[in-house]
Amino acid sequence: MSAEIYLQWGRPVRKNATPILWPLDVFSVLAPQSSHHINVFQEAVLGLLATGVRDLSELASNLELDRDLIAFIISQELQPRGWVDVGQRITERGLDALTGEEAESSLTVAYAFRDAISGRLLPRFARSLEEVRPTSSSSRDRPEFVDDRGTGHVRKPYRLPFRAHDPVPDLQSLQTAWRDFRRDIRAAAVDEEDWVAYSDQSLELLDTPPKRAWAVCEIYAPERDLHPWLVSDPWRLTPALRPLREALIPALSREPYLAKKVIDLLRQDEADLAGATPADRLAQLDLLAKARAMQEAPNLTKPEHEMMQEYLLRVIRLQESIAAASSPYQEELANLANQCGSLLEATLKWMLGRWRVETRDWPYHWQRRELQQLLQSLPLAKPLTQPSVDALSGQAAKQVRLAGKDRDRPFKALMVAALLSTYVHIDHPLRAVSDDGLDWALMDLRNDSSHATNHRLEKDEVLRLTQSALNWFRQFESYL
């Protein structure tokens, strides 16, 4: 057979799933690669320095670390990088490092991926192409792969066909995919040093023809999700990759065999679907899922509410599942904590889209004290609490401006941007609600679930985080 390229990142994790080969156009790009990565100890020391604590003994006591170790981290790691000055005050670059934006970077060759069904650039980048070879007896259209050489088990995924698209993606689409990729990295429990995701430098598309490849992934039926079926993330960064499902829905009408395989995955007993074609049955199942979503979130009916609706349903269903479990897995707790954060971020993104503001009118730089004063003088019915001011005042001006412009930053930057929007919108919901119900101590659980820390999540604290997030979200229902 011809030398087709098949890619597989990690091993399939679901047994009850339909394996497929997803067609991709693979582009070579020059992407920024960080040479300085902030580690857990550096982040902890910088975080305390940002609050104004500078005494070595006090730093050591608060962090429960040796005083000499604190001195070494500051003198040998933080000050040489310009993150801390000689007076042990955190610098602007140090604040950028805390928010993940400061990095000395060089350019490296990476790969961008375009879905060859929809023509959409996917929010995924990789440093290498993880090729997997089919068996020598495979046919070109139905390649076979040996899963386990010990048992000889062979997997026969269904290969989706390519569709022709414009040969070169535009730069704006490439940068949007890059930003979305970085957003997914921040929300995922992965080691960031394994990914190229450190800088906002522009990408450069290399002048080489794209490669045609297929990536291994699966269609599966999630136990608790708004959608009855999902497509797994071929790069294994997230459980599912939303754009693939969106692309496959219209394609299933051209793929009756695959549509039937998806139906076989779903446990359905609705009698009125029995006589429909597989593609029609799947469309009906999606309508039923949306109907269930409207029952639980009746005000989330507009297209701009879609992300809030999806995350709200996931939070509610995960909350029910974990509350009923005597000993939930750490992965389940981390997933719920991350979904809570995604719900809050989706809510702020909706606000920034609904109550737009010109970010060019905002300051280009500020010191921590200046942002504190700005937050304390907002036109709110009830001033921000001091814990909120302390939690938000470490955000760099650059990140807040990007949050207001692109709506793709982490929660705290989005929150500051939305709060600044209250200056120009008299009907802005944060004028009335502000930070009511937000528990910043619990919000830190999101960081514990999304990064390599030694903190073990507890069921009760994650459920308290969930209730805090739901309570804050539901205060905006009258504005939807």
pLDDT at 224: 66
Rg (CA), the chain: 24
Q: Which pLDDT score, from 0 to 100, does residue 118 have?
A: 92
Q: What is the pLDDT along the chain (480 residues), one digit of tens a residue?
A: 347 899 999 877 666 789 999 999 999 988 766 555 677 788 889 888 988 888 888 888 888 888 888 888 888 778 877 788 878 888 887 887 777 655 555 567 889 999 999 999 999 999 889 999 888 777 777 898 887 666 667 888 999 998 877 778 888 888 888 888 887 887 765 555 445 444 545 678 887 788 999 999 999 988 767 778 899 999 998 889 989 998 998 888 888 888 888 877 775 444 445 556 667 666 766 666 665 566 667 778 788 888 898 888 888 878 888 888 888 888 888 889 988 999 999 999 999 999 999 888 888 889 989 999 999 999 999 999 999 999 999 899 988 999 998 888 889 999 999 999 999 999 999 999 888 778 888 887 766 555 444 568 899 999 999 999 999 998 898 888
Q: Give 315: exposed, middle or buried? Use CB within 10 Å, 0-12, 13-18, 19+.
A: buried
For residue 154, the SS3 value is strand
CA separation for the pair 126, 41 (Å, rounded) = 28
pLDDT of residue 346: 94
CA gap 240, 234 in Å, rounded: 8
Residue 354's pLDDT is: 94
Element (H, E) at 18: strand 17-34
Amino acid making up residue 328: P
54 residue type, one letter: R
Give the Cα separation of 36 and 203 in Å (integer): 19
The residue type found at 397 is A
SS3 of 345-389: the string is: HHHHHHHHHHCCCCHHHCCCCCCHHHHHHHHHCCCCCCCCCHHHH
- Neighbouring CB atoms inside 10 A of 83's CB total 25
DSSP string, 305-360: GHHHHHHHHHHHHHHHHHHH-SS--HHHHHHHHHHHHHHHHHHHHHHHHHS---GG
SS3 of residue 103 by DSSP: coil
The C-alpha atoms of residue 475 and residue 480 are separated, in whole angstroms, by 10
Q: Is the dihedral of CA 461, 462, 466, 469 positive or negative?
A: positive
pLDDT at 452: 44
CA nearest to 380, candidates 420, 345, 325: 420
Residue 372: what pLDDT?
Answer: 92
Kind and range of the H or E run holding 121: strand 121-126
CA–CA separation, 238 and 439 (whole Å): 26
Helix, strand or coil, per DSSP, at residue 142: coil
Q: For residues 239 and 231, what is the distance between their CA atoms, to the nearest angstrom?
A: 8
Distances from the Cα of 15 to the Cα of 217, 218, 232, 237, angstroms: 12, 10, 12, 18
Q: How many whole angstroms separate alpha carbon 35 and alpha carbon 29?
A: 18
pLDDT at 215: 96
Query: From CA 58, how far away is CA 285, in angstroms rounded?
Result: 59
Place of tokens 């899922």: 289
3-state helix, strand, coil in the chain (%, to 5): 45, 15, 40
pLDDT at 196: 43
Q: On the CB side of 117, how many CA atoms lie within 13 Å of its CA?
A: 21
